[in-house]
Amino acid sequence: MYEKALLLLALFVTIAAFWPQKREGFNYNSCRAQGFSKEFCVTTPTGAMGAGTCMCSDGRVGMQLPGFYGECVCQYPAPYML
């Protein structure tokens, strides 16, 4: 009985240790330190561009679409426009 519980606990700890950690690339304090206003630093892309939008690494606006595991889809033509 204890062996199964211990094995289950070890499995959960292993999964938790290797679970991918998604971190937002934005830091409020860094934004303020670069001289931007408080209003600018708290404005989210969702509020400015609409739900489901994201910023591509090259500065373009992309979309977060179902089936892409939360990744920003940046290809053109965008899949949602096909």
Q: Is residue 31 part of a domain?
A: yes
Q: Is residue 48 one of the residues assigned to a domain?
A: yes
22 vs 67 pLDDT, higher one:
67
Please indicate, yes or no, whether the overall pTM of this predicted structure exceeds 0.75. Answer: no
The string of pLDDT tens digits covering residues 44-75 is 655 556 677 787 888 777 888 888 888 888 87
- Domain interval for residue 34: 23-81
Is residue 46 one of the residues assigned to a domain?
yes
Task: Note the pLDDT of residue 50.
Answer: 67
Pairwise CA distance, residues 29 & 23, whole Å: 15
- The residue with tokens 């595991």 is 69
Q: Report yes or no on 35 lying in a domain.
A: yes
d(CA 43, CA 26): 11
- The answer to the question of residue 16 being in a domain is no
Sign of the C-alpha dihedral computed for residues 45, 46, 51 and 54 taken in this order:
positive
Q: How many domains does the chain have?
A: 1
- Residue 6 covered by a domain: no
